[in-house]
Structure 1
């Protein structure tokens, strides 16, 4: 409420007033010293004499007086008191903020008294103000004090303001010069004025300040209302004259700025050379020190000591150059801070007025006619004229840059933006210009208003210029709002196909040479392709899929743009059902694929089947043509989304195959298996036989020593694990969906034909087996054909395959399998009778009993069981020992001697002979196997 802000410090800046302030400070210092000495005397008297009540009151009075004078002296020194918004209670204690706040309260509440006391004839009495303040602080503000003030005022009313009465002879009653009635009434009239009125009256006594210099009048040269034809030559002449002034001034400012920069660079280079530390040598004489208890030194004389040290030395030449450098910098700095000349300012104002006038003329036309079209062309001419003014000099001078930008923007918004007849010219100008021109041109490019053919032509022209002008092309590409344009224009399918081809060709060409500058353009193309795919989906589904497959095989992936395009394709295909993200793990991906297959309605069953055929054909062709080391090194970052797409189509096809198949029910399972095998074989299977023979000659020449071409290399196992894992999950889903189709038997046969070979290396089998073991093999109900496959694989020397077959074998419930076979075959008693009656004929017929299903089952089972029991990985499983125990109840008597002897001989050659001995450390598996 009581703001003490002031500009009094300005008053004391002059020489005379500054001396006046020093006198005031000296007076306070003198008074403070005097009263401090008086207070010290009182303290000494108090210690010597008895404590008198009156003396104590005097001491308290002097203490308050000293504190008050000290605070007032600090007020004169503290400049913070003049600041606006000062919070007085927050001041330090030595400034006595409470007392200072009380002064302003008194000035506000008792202004009638203080106005009379402090202002006499319009003059401020500082000494009286100090007296009143001291009296107030020491004795308190009371009615008695105010009575004293009024008495003092009565005396002052009849005294001269500059010479207060010093004796009774100078009082009003003894002075004949103060009895003049006119002067008395004049002073009474001043006393009746308020403090603010007195201050205003005092200020009016000074001479009036001089008025500011008149501004030159700027006459508006062009009328905003068009009343006569445009004088084109006159306007262009004025514009050239004004712009020359602006450009010339910008050039001078930029030149001086460069000179300042060069001056600073020279200063920085010279500064380290100002001082040097040369090595200095000095000879010092060291006197001989006498021994203890000896007055004379026993030596031949003082020693000469050479002291070597680094001495700081000023380089006078460098100092002179630095001083000259700073003088030069100072002159350049003074030039740079000078305001532009009036001619330059007038030129800027006239240019803005000219632009606003032309824009106003154009807005005044309500209908299209020749005159309006002529004005439009003229406005575009002015626009390009302003654009050409852009240079290094004008860009370095912010006022000129702002002027050119604002004028060009106003003209561009009025004469180019939204005008379909100039967009072709505008885009060509942008592509031919430098980036500094493009910043002014590109904001006014509006392709949405152009016809479809022009839109497509302009869009196609950008692709070949991205590598040379990525920033400009990005600004132009951002103007092509593809989603809105497709929705508004309703273009034909052939035109959309043309646009898709253009986008994919540009993506393919840019990804092979992409860098940080073109990545933003690639992302825009990605957004545009996604907009076309979303438009009337799945109208362009197959077309974009084909293009994506071509892009993936022809170019590298910079910034994961291609991978993100694949995920856009996946998420558009699965829209409304699920969403795929790069950071999803295998379990999340598999769950999302199952949800998609069960809920998707966008793709028809026929489209799903066609997609599988398309993918199978493409990948097989790629594997044959370029797959010396498989497809994984060719697709790299695209492997994961491609595998997800194959999984989506596989799961969906398994559920919808019955809707598109022309085969009978019993042949449907084989058809599904054939299509799935064709889809995945290029990714998981080695190429041999006819497939290898169809490879290019250069591949055959490089692989003369190989019978098959492996699907991946030893050092690349991460991506193959994803593909094989999805393949295994697909077959498991196939098995669960069609449990009657013997999917596991078909897989076992496929494994035997494709992977059970010595040409297939361990790095392939390791990945394959780890994924295929996740299939529920315990559901397998093996037939004799399956057992024969087991036996053929076991009989060959394929250690990795033996381990895989063994782990499958022990998961099967063989007790149920044997019971199933025996229930469909003659009983064991009948077989035994037949054996007794026809022993001779049977032996002559080559052990004919093994031709029965049960006998074949036990012969094959015996061979497989014995051989599998010797596999280390199988022996470590807890399923083998229970299987051997349950096998004791099988019909082993149906096994003929020849087959038994073959198995026994192999066992004897392979086992540890010590298992025949009853030792404490015998493995229970060996004991059960012998039994």
Structure 2
């Protein structure tokens, strides 16, 4: 009742009440032999289990148990050891081997005894010894004590496997804790410790504890008891299925619990009776379903999770409610009934007990009042409202916190560099630690004589050999280096200062509040603060913070949150983000995801120009990442840029292709392929708007051998000159026919001017200057001439005979003339 009352708001709580009662009840000598105290302790342990407060009770009992185990009551440690050697049972709060009435108290005591076996490694060591077949449990316990050097250990009959076995036999079949008691025993009995110690699995260890005659009787009682418990639950479930006359039907939940309990103890009986589980390793998934192999695996692996689903929670709640109702009934009795029979002291009366307690309390001095509450400073300062309206205030706030994080990163990186230097020096010193020095050693060889004549003495032979000698100076240096490395490692593993965590949490609180406020109220002032915070965080990204994983991860998270909310898609910040990336290339992986040039269509060409003019071998990866952010198809279709802007962009793409060169370096291949993609995209858009410009740029740069042949292939693929678009017999549109004739005439004039422009080309022809592009030029000409012939073929029937052919032949002659006709150096025709 006291525990339930303490759970109400404003009360001290269940743990304080339980500690109070345990402390009072365990103060008297030999309290565990007093039946009244045991009854109260059983109720306390039940309340602790019900309200999940077992730890506070176990802590107090465990302290007393360790004290009793070490000093055996009021005797000395020496007398306790003598008693253990003489075979006396070690002290315990359970008189005998088990308790049948106070099961809750027994559960708590056996658990604290198990804690001692676990903490002292006694159980593990005994099991390891028992893996040898020729050792008895008593011998294993003594060897374990010697190996662990324990001054005192429980006697053999106090080991957990025997204690839980006896308690399982003594616990009433309808007690709520019985399934958990059996679980505890089976975890010890069916445990397989072999693989845990790196040995082959050889069955369960429990059978080794019950090979003696007395232990064998306990094992027989266990098997008989578990069958009785299973039959009890089966009979109880069957009885509840048939309701008595004039009574309500039985509760289905109780029937279900009894049926599950009957099934569980039936499974336990199978495990106990199956000898194969205990003598050899069994493949658990191959067992029949009635073995419930998943629970068996949990038991064999000694998993500590309790099967609380088999505890009769309904009965626990019913008992608690019954006690509470009796208390409330006593409290609500009329006053004249409470004042009757005052001539004698009724120890069972709740009212008289209350009066006696209050009377005894009045004899003591008045307790002091509770101490005054001392105001404490918040570990993390609050965020001022001015930081959400003034970018300068926000920058100053972040400056202080981020400076702390950056300083910590620099310290960590400096320690890392120092440790690398020390270890490098250590590695260089180790080969110099020992040297071989030549020394002369005299060896005496004994002589046994010959023919019965004694020898004059041993022969002394001097041998020159090289002996190893340690260099003391180098040894001192190595010792000093190792000392410095150890000190540096200790400094590195020391917990960080509290101001570091405060700075990180403070910055995180500010960013979280800023983002949440902006999402709720999208104002220009908040956006400006967010932009300022973004660049402030980015400014603290340096080589040291990138080399320190915790700081790098923290700053990356801050940049990601601020960038997604305030930078990504913000047209005003595209140029600034690009400038930051080009000035500090290490920022590219961090902030390039927030560079969205398509959000600023009016600035896209200028942004593209900044990227192209920064193209170099050492920054090709950065340029490629930036180029992937330009979606030219979307820009051309949605922004509808004017012709001059498109032409300017085409010139920029052409310039970038020329920078890549005729044979692009491997580092430039990835941006080069993006440039060719942009080239073809511009050529296709509103074709033939940029056809003449593309052809002019292509011819001009190819004549100077500035372009890769891949640029020709991309262009020809757009024009339909290469498979699969190539189709010479397709019908030619009128507009296309005009463009074809203009192209042929322009090419004829261009190549003729090129032939006449340089003396070497006049003498030796164009082939040497166009060797790299001859296959592509041939494909282009073939396509052009096929189109031209198809156009002229339709006009042959409408014009005088031979005039069309003569004109066509003249065009072909002019096209090929610069390539195949010889020219004199002084001939200008």
Equivalent residue, structure 2, for 1:569: 715
Aligned residue for 1:271, secondary structure, equals helix
Write the mapping of 1:663-678 to structure 2, written as runs, cut at 5 A: 664-678=800-814
Judge conservation of contact 2:390–2:529 (CA < 8 Å) in 1: no
1:248 aligns with 2:407: yes
C-alpha offsets along residues 555-603 of structure 1, whole Å, 9 cap, x if unaligned? 445xxxx22221111111118x8338xxxxxxxxxxxx6x345466697
Work out which of the residue numbers 400, 403, 407 in structure 1 matches 2:558. Answer: 407
Equivalent residue, structure 2, for 1:325: 481
Equivalent residue, structure 2, for 1:495: 645
Equivalent residue, structure 2, for 1:907: none
Change (3 A) 1:449 1:33: closer
Change (3 A) 1:690 1:25: closer
Aligned residue for 1:665, secondary structure, equals coil
Work out which of the residue numbers 230, 236, 240 in structure 1 matches 2:389. Answer: 230
1:465 aligns with 2:614: yes
Q: Partners in 1 of 2:593 and 2:576 — Cα distance? A: 14
Change (3 A) 1:20 1:654: closer
Equivalent residue, structure 2, for 1:112: 226
Aligned residue for 2:478, secondary structure, equals helix
Change (3 A) 1:344 1:416: same
| CA apart distance, 1:395 | 0.9
Q: Partners in 2 of 1:536 and 1:418 — Cα distance? A: 28
Work out which of the residue numbers 697, 702, 724 in structure 2 matches 1:552. Answer: 702
Q: Partners in 2 of 1:107 and 1:571 — Cα distance? A: 92
Judge conservation of contact 2:398–2:536 (CA < 8 Å) in 1: no
Judge conservation of contact 2:189–2:205 (CA < 8 Å) in 1: no
| CA apart distance, 1:443 | 2.6
Equivalent residue, structure 1, for 2:822: 688
Equivalent residue, structure 1, for 2:625: 475
Judge conservation of contact 1:574–1:600 (CA < 8 Å) in 2: no
Equivalent residue, structure 2, for 1:579: 724
Aligned residue for 2:389, secondary structure, equals coil
1:382 aligns with 2:533: yes
Q: Partners in 2 of 1:456 and 1:107 — Cα distance? A: 92
Q: Partners in 1 of 2:732 and 2:439 — Cα distance? A: 92
Equivalent residue, structure 2, for 1:337: 493
Write the mapping of 1:515-530 to structure 2, written as runs, cut at 5 A: 515-530=665-680
Judge conservation of contact 2:598–2:630 (CA < 8 Å) in 1: yes
1:658 aligns with 2:793: yes
Change (3 A) 1:664 1:194: closer
C-alpha offsets along residues 421-474 of structure 1, whole Å, 9 cap, x if unaligned? 33333333333x21123444433222212243x222222233222227444433
Q: Partners in 2 of 1:579 and 1:135 — Cα distance? A: 79
Judge conservation of contact 2:745–2:811 (CA < 8 Å) in 1: yes
Write the mapping of 1:406-445 to structure 2, written as runs, cut at 5 A: 406-431=557-582, 433-445=583-595
1:643 aligns with 2:778: yes
For structure 1, the residue ranges without an aligned partner over 5 or more in a row are 1-5, 35-71, 84-90, 117-131, 142-192, 202-214, 367-371, 581-592, 696-931
Write the mapping of 1:703-782 to structure 2, written as runs, cut at 5 A: none
Q: Partners in 2 of 1:492 and 1:106 — Cα distance? A: 98
Aligned residue for 1:536, secondary structure, equals coil
Change (3 A) 1:93 1:519: closer
Judge conservation of contact 1:477–1:521 (CA < 8 Å) in 2: yes
Aligned residue for 1:466, secondary structure, equals coil
Q: Partners in 2 of 1:514 and 1:107 — Cα distance? A: 88
C-alpha offsets along residues 202-245 of structure 1, whole Å, 9 cap, x if unaligned? xxxxxxxxxxxxx996667248xx79973656544432221121
| CA apart distance, 1:316 | 4.0
Change (3 A) 1:563 1:579: farther
Change (3 A) 1:552 1:222: same
Aligned residue for 1:537, secondary structure, equals coil
1:543 aligns with 2:693: yes
Aligned residue for 2:571, secondary structure, equals coil
Judge conservation of contact 1:508–1:555 (CA < 8 Å) in 2: no
C-alpha offsets along residues 41-80 of structure 1, whole Å, 9 cap, x if unaligned? xxxxxxxxxxxxxxxxxxxxxxxxxxxxxxx999999452
C-alpha offsets along residues 269-328 of structure 1, whole Å, 9 cap, x if unaligned? 12222343445554557789999xx7779x999987664555444444433433332332
C-alpha offsets along residues 152-197 of structure 1, whole Å, 9 cap, x if unaligned? xxxxxxxxxxxxxxxxxxxxxxxxxxxxxxxxxxxxxxxxx99989
Change (3 A) 1:73 1:26: farther
1:612 aligns with 2:744: yes
Q: Partners in 2 of 1:108 and 1:544 — Cα distance? A: 96
| CA apart distance, 1:388 | 0.8
Taking structure 1 as the reference length, what is the TM-score of the superposition?
0.49
Q: Partners in 2 of 1:320 and 1:261 — Cα distance? A: 20
Equivalent residue, structure 2, for 1:726: none
Equivalent residue, structure 2, for 1:699: none
Work out which of the residue numbers 122, 130, 143 in structure 2 matches 1:17. Answer: 122
Aligned residue for 2:572, secondary structure, equals coil
Q: Partners in 2 of 1:607 and 1:462 — Cα distance? A: 34
Work out which of the residue numbers 485, 500, 503 in structure 2 matches 1:347. Answer: 503
For structure 2, the residue ranges without an aligned partner over 5 or more in a row are 1-110, 140-186, 211-215, 231-269, 280-307, 317-375
Aligned residue for 1:276, secondary structure, equals strand
Change (3 A) 1:94 1:79: closer
Aligned residue for 2:724, secondary structure, equals coil
Write the mapping of 1:841-856 to structure 2, written as runs, cut at 5 A: none
Mean Cα displacement is larger for which, 513-522 or 405-414? 513-522
Equivalent residue, structure 2, for 1:80: 195
Taking structure 2 as the reference length, what is the TM-score of the superposition?
0.54
| CA apart distance, 1:30 | 3.8
Aligned residue for 2:630, secondary structure, equals coil
Q: Partners in 1 of 2:273 and 2:737 — Cα distance? A: 106
Equivalent residue, structure 2, for 1:486: 636
Change (3 A) 1:692 1:507: farther
Change (3 A) 1:9 1:396: farther
Q: CA RMSD in A?
A: 5.1
Q: Partners in 2 of 1:256 and 1:360 — Cα distance? A: 38
C-alpha offsets along residues 243-271 of structure 1, whole Å, 9 cap, x if unaligned? 12111111111111111111221122122
Q: Partners in 2 of 1:678 and 1:109 — Cα distance? A: 112
Work out which of the residue numbers 658, 669, 683 in structure 2 matches 1:533. Answer: 683
Judge conservation of contact 2:531–2:567 (CA < 8 Å) in 1: yes
